[in-house]
Amino acid sequence: MSDVINDNDNDIEKGNYDYYLLEHEHTGCWSRFCHEFCQHPFTLLEVNGYVIDIQQTFAAKPSWFVVPLKLMITGVAMDVFVRDLINYTGVKSFWLAYYNNWTTVLTLIYLFLSLFNSLYCEGTKNQPTAYENRAPCLICVTWVFWVLSLSYQFINFFGYWSLVYYSWEEGSEIMAVSYFTVMKAFGIFVLLTVEGQVLNRIPMRWAHLTIAELGFLGYIFWSLIHHASGMGNPDTGDIGIYWFLNWSDETLNETSAAVAVTMLIVLPAIWFVFYVLSWPFRRYMPVDEEKAHGAADMEDLPEIVICNLEAGSLMAHFDGNDFPPRVKELAEDSPLHAYGVVPGMVVDTLELADGTTYYELTVEELVQHLTESSYQDGRIVTFLNPHVRALTPTPAIPDHGARPPSSLPATAADPIEVTLPPGKVGIVLADEPPVVSRISDESPLVGTGVTVGMVVDTLTLLFDEEDEEEDAVTHYELEASELTQLLKDHADSEGRVLRFLPAGMDVTKKPPVAKALSLALPAGSIGLVFSKASPPEIKQIKETSPLLELYPDFFVPGMIVDTLTLEDGTVHYEMTGKECTSLLKDHKDSDGRIMRVILPGMDLTPTPTSNSSSSSSIMPDEVLACVFPGPLGFRMEGEPPMVQSMEEDSVLHDFGVVVGMVVDTIEVEGGETHYELTTEQATELLQQYENADERILRFINPDVHDVTPTPTPQEEEEEEVEEIVKEMPPELYCAVPSGDLGVIFDEQEQPPKVAALEDDSCLKDFGVVPGMVVDTIELEDSTKHYELTTNELTDLLLQHEYSEGRMICFINPDLVDITLKPVIEEEEEEMPLECEAHLPAGTIGCGFNHNPVAITEMDEDSPLHDDNVVVGMLVDTVMLGDGTVHYELELDAFLTLLHDHKDEEGRVVRFIHPDHYDELKTPKPPYQGPDEVTCTVPAGSLGVSFNGAPPFVTKLSDESPLHDEGVVVGMKVDTVQIDGVTHYEMDHLEVSALLKEHAESEEERVIRFVAPHYVNIPPPLPKDICLTDDPESLEVELPPTQKLGLTFAGTHPICIKTVRPGSELSSEQPHKLEGYGINRIYVPGYDPEHHCQLNNIKQVMVLLMKTKHIEGRLLCLKKPELYPDGFDKTDDYAPEGSEPSSSSVHWTDEELEIKTNLMEMGFEESAIVHCMQNYKDAGRPIDMDDIMAGIIEEGAG
């Protein structure tokens, strides 16, 4: 029950009881938000108890000033609207599809409604009463369009300048700003805000956010309908209305995320700003005028109506929020019409047929009594006009007809104490001190002697039912509301005790507060100001002091500092204010300081004698004191309890306890140990067991040990489990029969732990108990399994459920370790110092790595096992089948050599021990050939093999014409001249490809071989090339062929050296290509970034060869002398007048992912794109495995 507020004057002034509730219950930010969000969006009642003035809010005065301004704002908005229609060059029927045009239309509708409200004021003149509390229909419509237009204007302002004005796409340009652009995307928004918040004062509420969200959602639904219809945007040709509002599959996730962010973050955030800004601008009804409204409405109500009712229903609806019950409406056939009862009257009293009379009823109580007595005749209900007459108060002496005689006390002259059971008390309290104004029939106070009119003296609450004296808290000098709240908060508690006094008897005064208090000071400033005198007096407690939060009810200015204990246990006595301030300042960053304060007039703690102080100079880390019965003779203060002083005859001196030590634990009779004690708890505990034989106190040095925390239930359970574990047998071997074992294993435990055993489990006969784990299991075929998981064990038991002879070993995991699976040690092969491996044709089943080359792995069937080769040995030499020996090979050259000659017989590889590599490796024989050989070679094959860069001669066939020229193995190629064109700085691939290309031609081929130690001739620089006055840049279309007839020179940039006479490019180009540098090679469908990274001639030749079949290739050329710092790699890679390659070949996200994965695996990008393009042209699906197989089949990549 709650206390009743009966203040008719206050009720009249505020209009009804709802105002009082709102003014007192919805003052917090969260409560205000919840109330505003849940209330009717167009209620006139504010959370602060005031009522919105409709006329001043929607049709402000004076009209001669407001109406012209509204006309001007509406005219400007209409001007922008007309200009927009005139200047719109797109499809007229599509104009209303855009969001900004929705915004313009909604804004115009609101402005016309607002102007109409000011011109036609009849709709705003009739201010609803406080009881009707709803805005008229026209005002509600205006309110809705104000919310929609404001939210649309903000989204339009934000979206236009961030997404439409500059689209953020590549190539976007900032459009020119015009009057029309500014007004439509910003100006109207400002004018609308001024009109709604300055001329009008329309409130913004959290409930209106739902309207704004629904309005925005309406346009989103329209965009979805537009996308589903497939009509597209006839103005731009795009799929969606806007590029950023595109619901196609490619942009579905981005669009959904943007819409969600707008609805969940942007709109609520800006709504909070509007909400805060609208608060100062609201216009309310004056309180006096509201009172006059209420009084005028009540003039026609009769002053009092007494109804003698027959059996049946009243057919009346009472306002559930009012006290007293107010008639809200009456049915047409209600019997109350005959007596003159009208809505607005309140119920004063209800008298039943047996004479029981009820006063000051709530709506709930009235409806209950009327329902229970609906079969009775002779019920009398009194109705009043609440603005003319006051309610009849409950009589001080209860009417004997109102309660059964058994509930009346025999006497009420003495105090009565009643212990309440859990549940409701069933009383109504009022005034201070609390007076019982009503007792319900179900109240536990019935029959206890408590009567209406008695005063509640005290309330005692017990927080520990086992020890009433220890944790009993008594509340004194209570108010009715305070007592009601306490009874509600502890409605489910046992042992609540109420003490009642007869009327006129004085209540018990609240006992004085504790005279001394030990304050545990936190690190940092404590915000206290002390007097300079001795002892230090606390003159001021600053608002920022942390002690106000730690000790809010006891710590007050004027208290005296008695002692100060520092973090090291040093105690200071009888200080001056200056000394106290200096000590606190010097140790302000330390924890563990304790300050004892007392009330003025109390005696200070004297400074200890020299004996006690000397004894406290050395503090042990820990002391266990098993004390005898009797007092211990010491004093404790603070949290945790710290020894402040000890009597000279204290038994604790014998154990070495000194001042400053902390009481950690106390163990009493029965082995019960108490942890984390407060000073009060420790004192009471020692007093309670003062005469006990067994008391063990643990004292600790607070600088060395922390206080022992109270064990958790889990820790106590673990201790119990330890006891159970001690009872487990260390090991059990169980020869289990066939069938189900009736055991449940814990799935979370590894190894399998027995969680439970069924009643009929055969394992109980062996002594197996829960908690044991499975060590091993031996099956019927003598197979033994070790280190099983729960799933593996379960599968084994199910597979062999009907087998005999299974043996399971259970162990106690805390006593016996799990048996590990036996490891069969393999004898390591002894590594020989050196060996020669004769390789057969084919693969040798080995892996190699590092430099010098080391064998890292060998298959079981590798032929090297037969020659005693072991993993870890290093490669020394390789002799091929023709007798050629290779020395000091690096990893790439070694692997290439094995691959190129894998089908040969007679290959011999010499391996040596890595620890003796330097002393056993075969030195490379010195070069003994000529220093230089320049020869003109005939047409046909030269019978020579090259390797490395620059290319070295690694093999000469017997028929090679180079023998006759004096070329020997080991020489390297310096230059190759074909038909007068010289090629420089080539690797073995470029030389082989060039000689093969011109093998059958009649052109003269001249090759210059040099000794290995010679330096190759560098190519001529591009600036040495004779240039013409041709254009600065060229784009040359390359035919789909490999033989382009071009030679190149240089590196940065790579320049065209010559164009052969027979080349298709020589006849088709109006300009000479010689001397131009390659900026890019454009290949349709290829990643353009790849083509920017052409750093050497090899890359150019490989790219041209890989893309020889593709039509539309372009060679983008520039004059190098015009770019001394190199070509700009950020230039547009696409040819002039065309779109980039990404527009001609569209790759899906899945296809791009496949391409990226294959490139990471080491495949060439050109081979990947070629194969994927072939699959796409053939209509085949793009699958990663198929593309990989296609690349390998074509021999590319």
Tell me the DSSP string of 1003-1059. S-EEEEEE-TTSPPPPPPPGGGSPP-S--SEEEEEEPSSS---EEEE-SSS-EEEEE
Amino acid identity of 785? H
For the chain, what is the total number of helices (H) and then of strands (E)? Answer: 33, 47
Kindly report the three-state secondary structure assignment for every residue of 547-576: HHHHCCCCCCCCCEEEEEECCCCCEEECCC
Task: State which of 406-415, 941-950, 1124-1133 shows the largest mean pLDDT.
Answer: 941-950
What confidence tens digit (pLDDT) does each residue in 622-637 have? Answer: 888 888 888 888 888 8
- Mean pLDDT of the region 483-510: 86
pTM: 0.30
> Can you give the pLDDT at residue 167?
52
- Mean pLDDT of the region 406-421: 65
d(CA 142, CA 114): 7
> Can you give the pLDDT at residue 289?
40
Task: State which of 24-33, 70-79, 274-283 shows the largest mean pLDDT.
Answer: 70-79
Sorted by sequence, the CB contacts under 8 Å of residue 827 that are 6+ apart come out as none
d(CA 367, CA 318): 9
Kindly report which listed range (558-572, 784-798, 877-891, 1048-1062) carries the lowest average pLDDT score. Answer: 1048-1062
Q: What share of the chain is helix, strand, coil (3-state, %, to 5)?
A: 35, 20, 45
Q: Does residue 370 carry a pLDDT above 80? A: yes
Task: Give the Å distances, CA to CA, from 981 to 950, 1028, 1045.
Answer: 19, 20, 11
β-partners of residue 456 are 500
Contact 838, 908 (CB under 8 A): yes
- Mean pLDDT of the region 264-272: 83
d(CA 275, CA 207): 11
> Can you give the pLDDT at residue 665?
92
> Can you give the pLDDT at residue 45?
66
3-class state of residue 1123 by DSSP: coil
Return the DSSP state at 1085: T
- Mean pLDDT of the region 1161-1179: 76
Angle (CA) 1032-1033-1034 rounded to 5° is 135
Torsion angle of the four alpha carbons 21, 22, 26, 27, in this order, in degrees rounded to the nearest 10: -100
- Mean pLDDT of the region 675-703: 87
Sorted by sequence, the CB contacts under 8 Å of residue 24 that are 6+ apart come out as none
Torsion angle of the four alpha carbons 1066, 1067, 1069, 1075, in this order, in degrees rounded to the nearest 10: 20
3-class state of residue 199 by DSSP: helix
> Can you give the pLDDT at residue 388?
78
> Can you give the pLDDT at residue 700?
92
What confidence tens digit (pLDDT) does each residue in 57-102 have? Answer: 777 777 778 888 888 888 888 888 888 888 777 777 788 888 878 8
Torsion angle of the four alpha carbons 1120, 1123, 1126, 1131, in this order, in degrees rounded to the nearest 10: -100
Task: State which of 553-562, 575-584, 817-826 shows the largest mean pLDDT.
Answer: 575-584
Task: Give the Å distances, CA to CA, from 600 to 512, 556, 561.
Answer: 14, 12, 10
Residue with more model confidence, 1123 or 1142: 1123
- Mean pLDDT of the region 507-532: 78
* Residue 277 φ/ψ, nearest 5 degrees: -70, -30
> Can you give the pLDDT at residue 1146?
66
Angle (CA) 799-801-804 rounded to 5° is 115
Contact 133, 35 (CB under 8 A): no
Residue-level length of the chain:
1197
d(CA 752, CA 891): 50
- Mean pLDDT of the region 1-23: 34
What confidence tens digit (pLDDT) does each residue in 576-624 have? Answer: 888 888 888 888 888 888 888 887 777 888 887 644 443 344 788 888 8
What confidence tens digit (pLDDT) does each residue in 100-116 have? Answer: 788 888 888 988 888 88
Report the run of H or E that residue 1190 belongs to, with start and end. helix 1184-1194
- Mean pLDDT of the region 881-909: 83
Q: Does residue 819 carry a pLDDT above 70? A: yes
- Mean pLDDT of the region 1066-1086: 78
Q: How confident is the model at residue 809 (pLDDT cuts 50, 70, 90)?
A: very high
- Mean pLDDT of the region 1019-1030: 50
d(CA 587, CA 523): 8
Q: Which residue has the tokens 């402000």?
A: 60
> Can you give the pLDDT at residue 1093?
56
Of 1099, 1089, 1112, residue with least CA distance to 1039: 1112
d(CA 972, CA 987): 10
Sorted by sequence, the CB contacts under 8 Å of residue 1105 that are 6+ apart come out as 993, 1042
* Residue 181 φ/ψ, nearest 5 degrees: -65, -45
Q: Does residue 878 carry a pLDDT above 80? A: yes
> Can you give the pLDDT at residue 1033?
84
Q: How confident is the model at residue 744 (pLDDT cuts 50, 70, 90)?
A: confident
**Residue 440: exposed, middle, or buried by beta-carbon count in 10 A (0-12, 13-18, 19+)?**
middle
d(CA 124, CA 54): 6
Contacts of range 510-515, beta carbons closer than 8 Å, 24 or more positions apart? 510/476, 510/477, 511/476, 513/553, 513/554, 514/554, 515/598, 515/599, 515/602
Q: Looking at 816-965, which runs of residues are DSSP E strands?
A: 834-839, 846-849, 854-858, 874-879, 885-887, 907-912, 932-937, 944-947, 952-956
Contact 302, 339 (CB under 8 A): no
Contact 104, 156 (CB under 8 A): no
Q: Looking at 859-1002, which runs of residues are DSSP E strands?
A: 874-879, 885-887, 907-912, 932-937, 944-947, 952-956, 972-978, 981-983
> Can you give the pLDDT at residue 177?
67
> Can you give the pLDDT at residue 664?
93
> Can you give the pLDDT at residue 818?
87
Average pLDDT, the chain: 77
Sorted by sequence, the CB contacts under 8 Å of residue 714 that are 6+ apart come out as none
d(CA 814, CA 817): 8
Of 494, 554, 549, 569, residue with least CA distance to 680: 554
- Mean pLDDT of the region 1002-1021: 77
Task: State which of 38-47, 711-720, 1180-1189 shows the largest mean pLDDT.
Answer: 1180-1189
> Can you give the pLDDT at residue 264?
87
Amino acid identity of 361? L
Q: How confident is the model at residue 1139 (pLDDT cuts 50, 70, 90)?
A: very low
Sorted by sequence, the CB contacts under 8 Å of residue 1146 that are 6+ apart come out as none
d(CA 676, CA 639): 9
d(CA 1166, CA 1108): 11
Kindly report which listed range (1-5, 82-86, 990-994) carries the lowest average pLDDT score. Answer: 1-5
- Mean pLDDT of the region 657-663: 89
Instruction: Locate 901 and state its tokens.
Output: 């000659």
Q: Does residue 411 carry a pLDDT above 60? A: no
> Can you give the pLDDT at residue 912?
92
> Can you give the pLDDT at residue 296?
38
Instruction: Locate 1024 and state its tokens.
Output: 């040495």
What confidence tens digit (pLDDT) does each residue in 960-989 have? Answer: 899 888 898 888 898 998 887 888 888 887
Report the run of H or E that residue 808 belongs to, with start and end. strand 806-811
> Can you give the pLDDT at residue 456?
92
> Can you give the pLDDT at residue 835?
92
Kindly report which listed range (195-204, 441-450, 497-506, 779-788) carries the lowest average pLDDT score. Answer: 195-204
Q: How confident is the model at residue 208 (pLDDT cuts 50, 70, 90)?
A: confident
Kindly report which listed range (150-159, 241-250, 1186-1195) carries the lowest average pLDDT score. Answer: 1186-1195
Neighbours of 272 (CB within 10 A): 14
Query: How large a percentage of the chain has pLDDT more than 90?
Result: 4
d(CA 466, CA 143): 63
Contact 323, 363 (CB under 8 A): yes
- Mean pLDDT of the region 726-742: 82
d(CA 331, CA 340): 13
Q: Does residue 1022 carry a pLDDT above 60? A: no
Contact 442, 426 (CB under 8 A): yes
> Can you give the pLDDT at residue 586?
87
Contact 987, 1098 (CB under 8 A): yes
What confidence tens digit (pLDDT) does each residue in 334-343 have? Answer: 889 888 898 8
Task: Give the Å distances, CA to CA, from 670 to 665, 695, 711.
Answer: 15, 10, 18
Q: How confident is the model at residue 1 (pLDDT cuts 50, 70, 90)?
A: very low
